[in-house]
Amino acid sequence: MSKQKIARSEIREMAFQTLFPLDFDQEISKKDALETVISLEHANWLSEEGDDFVPAYLDTLVTGVVEHREFLDQAIQPFLKSSWTLKRLNKTDHLIMQLAIFEMNFVDEVPNKVALNEALELAKKYSDDSSRRFINGLLSSYMASLAKK
């Protein structure tokens, strides 16, 4: 099987699609979630033996968000309005922000502005305009706080 060049924006979307079931179902494994997304979006990546080609960056994003969830949530919390909690966030917006904040903190080759813009693209596709504005405001504030460090 050939290892195709995949756009990082497509990989981010696949990471989001993989993280979504992992967030809801504690019984599902990362491998099962990845295989499901790959089989739905890119069946040509699966060999006849069922071995799949998982782009390294996809694995980095999924594993990173799962392993750093507590850090990511602690990064989000201070930027929520005082009456809001993480539990009040809808899962879609929460995951999009976790992905962006993971990239901002742990992926040096992705500029923070790119992580923000990619999060907004995911929000356009999977959320509504008010959520997109909310995500933009929170991530912009977070990005500004990183610049001050």
- Residue 46: phi and psi, rounded to 5, are -90, 130
Query: Does residue 88 carry a pLDDT above 50?
Result: yes
Averaged over 93-110, what is the pLDDT?
96
What is the per-residue pLDDT for 47? 46
Query: Does residue 1 carry a pLDDT above 60?
Result: no
In this structure, are residues 119 and 99 in contact, taking their beta carbons and an 8 Å threshold? yes
* pTM recorded for the entire structure: 0.81
* Residues constituting the chain: 149
Query: Does residue 48 carry a pLDDT above 50?
Result: no
Query: Does residue 24 carry a pLDDT above 90?
Result: no
Query: Does residue 20 carry a pLDDT above 70?
Result: yes
Return the CATH fold of 68-149.
Answer: N-utilizing Substance Protein B Homolog; Chain A (1.10.940)
What confidence category does residue 49 fall into, taking pLDDT thresholds of 50, 70 and 90? very low
Q: What percent of the chain has pLDDT over 70?
A: 74
What confidence category does residue 46 fall into, taking pLDDT thresholds of 50, 70 and 90? very low
Task: Provide the mean pLDDT of the chain.
Answer: 83
Query: Does residue 31 carry a pLDDT above 90?
Result: no
In this structure, are residues 143 and 116 in contact, taking their beta carbons and an 8 Å threshold? yes
CA-CA distance, 51 to 40, in Å (whole number)? 15
What is the per-residue pLDDT for 92? 94
User: SS3 letters for the chain?
Assistant: CCCCCCCHHHHHHHHHHHHHHHHHCCCCCHHHHHHHHHHHHCHHHECCCCCECCCHHHHHHHHHHHHCHHHHHHHHHHHCCCCCCHHHCCHHHHHHHHHHHHHHHHCCCCCHHHHHHHHHHHHHHHCCHHHHHHHHHHHHHHHHHHHHC
Residues of the chain with CATH 1.10.940.10: 68-149
Query: Does residue 41 carry a pLDDT above 80?
Result: no
